[in-house]
Amino acid sequence: MSNPRALASGKAKLSKCAWATVLMAALAANAKAEQGCPDNFVPNPNWTQGQSQCIPGPPTQGDADSSPPAPVWATRWGAIAIDSATGNMGAVTDMPSKRKAVDAALARCRDHGGTNCKISLEYHNQCAASAWGEGNGGTFVSFRAPSEKDAVSGALNQCGQDSGGACETFYSGCSSAQRVR
């Protein structure tokens, strides 16, 4: 008769071999052929003669790191100063801070002959316009809006309402955010 220990040992060896075969078959079933496509490309399922056999594949986790960083924008300020007694004004755009915009507009107003200059409007990352009308003893209006066209339109409309007559634009400008990275 056969040795029971040898039989048990043979079954153990057969069992390990069977498990290895099952494991290899399972791994082979999950493997997909790349058909020679480079990294991040997959075979073209609609390939016909004369077309590329490989097309860009879906993004992978590694692709997220290679995308460019989000842009960084710097706020830009503008300001309008006026001396209402003399009509002299000063305006600036694209200043890095509100304080610098206000100081520069007041200085320009004084440089143009103003002696009692006051800030009419400060704004950032948008546009502004100023209009003047003779009605009601003289009317001065500054207006801000997302576009220069809208700022001019707003200033003229408000001035017309306040003065009760025709107005004209004498200043418009924009301070747009600037990309720094």
What would the pLDDT profile of 67-83 be if each residue is shown by its tens digit?
Answer: 788 899 999 999 999 99
pLDDT exceeds cutoff 80 at 15: no
Domain count, the chain: 1
Q: Which residue has the tokens 């000063």?
A: 90
Please indicate, yes or no, if residue 7 is contained in any of the structural domains: no
pLDDT of residue 112: 96
Pick 21 or 84 by higher pLDDT: 84
pLDDT exceeds cutoff 50 at 1: no
Please indicate, yes or no, if residue 37 is contained in any of the structural domains: no
**Model confidence band, residue 51 (pLDDT cutoffs 50, 70, 90):** low
pLDDT of residue 130: 96
pLDDT of residue 24: 55
Please indicate, yes or no, if residue 2 is contained in any of the structural domains: no
Please indicate, yes or no, if residue 96 is contained in any of the structural domains: yes
pLDDT exceeds cutoff 60 at 40: yes
Q: Which residue has the tokens 């309402």?
A: 161
Pick 119 or 137 by higher pLDDT: 119
Please indicate, yes or no, if residue 25 is contained in any of the structural domains: no
- Residue 13, Cβ density class (10 Å: 0-12 exposed, 13-18 middle, ≥19 buried): exposed
Q: What is the dihedral of CA 109, 114, 119, 120, to 10 degrees?
A: -100
Range of the domain at 140: 73-179
Please indicate, yes or no, if residue 17 is contained in any of the structural domains: no
Pick 86 or 42 by higher pLDDT: 86
What's the mean pLDDT when you consider all of the chain?
Answer: 81
Q: How far apart are the C-alpha atoms of 62 and 118, rounded to whole Å?
A: 56
Please indicate, yes or no, if residue 8 is contained in any of the structural domains: no
Please indicate, yes or no, if residue 63 is contained in any of the structural domains: no
How does DSSP assign 117-158, residue by residue? Answer: -EEEEEEESEEEEEEEESGGG-EEEEEEESSHHHHHHHHHHH
